[in-house]
Amino acid sequence: MRPDPRLSRRGAVATLAALLGAALAGCASLGPRNLTLSHADLQTLIERQFPRERRVLEVVDLSLVRPVVRMLPERNRIATELELSAVERLSGRSLGGRLALDHGLRYEPSDATVRLAQVKVSALTLDVGGTPLSAQAARLGGALAERMLDDFVIYRVNDERREALKRAGLERADFVVTARGIELRFVEGR
């Protein structure tokens, strides 16, 4: 009796799949794994997080919209510019302006998220009925914006990938900003 060729083909495929899985698992302990996000990918990830609204000091409702992302590879940072609007709750007076900041990124292994890090406001312009905001108020607003956006989650790794990273022992990630986007380099835990 001759063996059924379909059964031997299935067996060969199953064996090949098992060998490939074992080889990939073995490779997982060899060093860094890279994930590249283009400028457009990063722009899309950040845009998904906006509009962002927050009440500040219980007296101002702040809204951030329309982020525009630019790469700063020479400093390994990312620049983001946002439109800003604020409504003073007591008087109803509204302000409009722009917020420019630059930041790094960091990977948080405890919840598998990518977050803004070391946020620095480079410019904050607010217009109060045709009158620019005072320098002191702009500094205070910049400090509040840095606090609001530092550690801000822009991406969460799905559960399946999170488990795969965990199984591979990849617990840390470093970011490299290039002119074309960012490279996320996962490395083994120390």
48 and 142 in a common domain = yes
Is-contact 139 120, C-beta < 8 A?
no
Query: Which pTM value belongs to this model?
Result: 0.72
Distance CA 87, CA 174 (A): 38
The total of structural domains in the chain comes to 2
19 and 77 in a common domain = no
150 and 63 in a common domain = yes
- Core vs surface per residue 18-57: b (16+ CB within 10 A) or e: eeeeeeeeeebeeeebeeebebeebbeebeeeeeeeeeee
Residue 182: CA count within 13 A, CB half-sphere: 27
94 and 17 in a common domain = no
64 and 26 in a common domain = no
Q: What pLDDT is recorded for position 22?
A: 33
* Residue 51: domain span: 31-188
171 and 146 in a common domain = yes
64 and 25 in a common domain = no
Q: What pLDDT is recorded for position 110?
A: 85
Q: Determine the residue type at 158.
A: N
Distance CA 177, CA 112 (A): 20
Q: What pLDDT is recorded for position 8?
A: 40
71 and 20 in a common domain = no
Q: Write out residues in the chain with pLDDT < 50, as ranges.
A: 2-32
7 and 48 in a common domain = no
Question: 189 by DSSP, 3-state: which?
Answer: coil
CATH of the domain at 76: 3.15.10.40
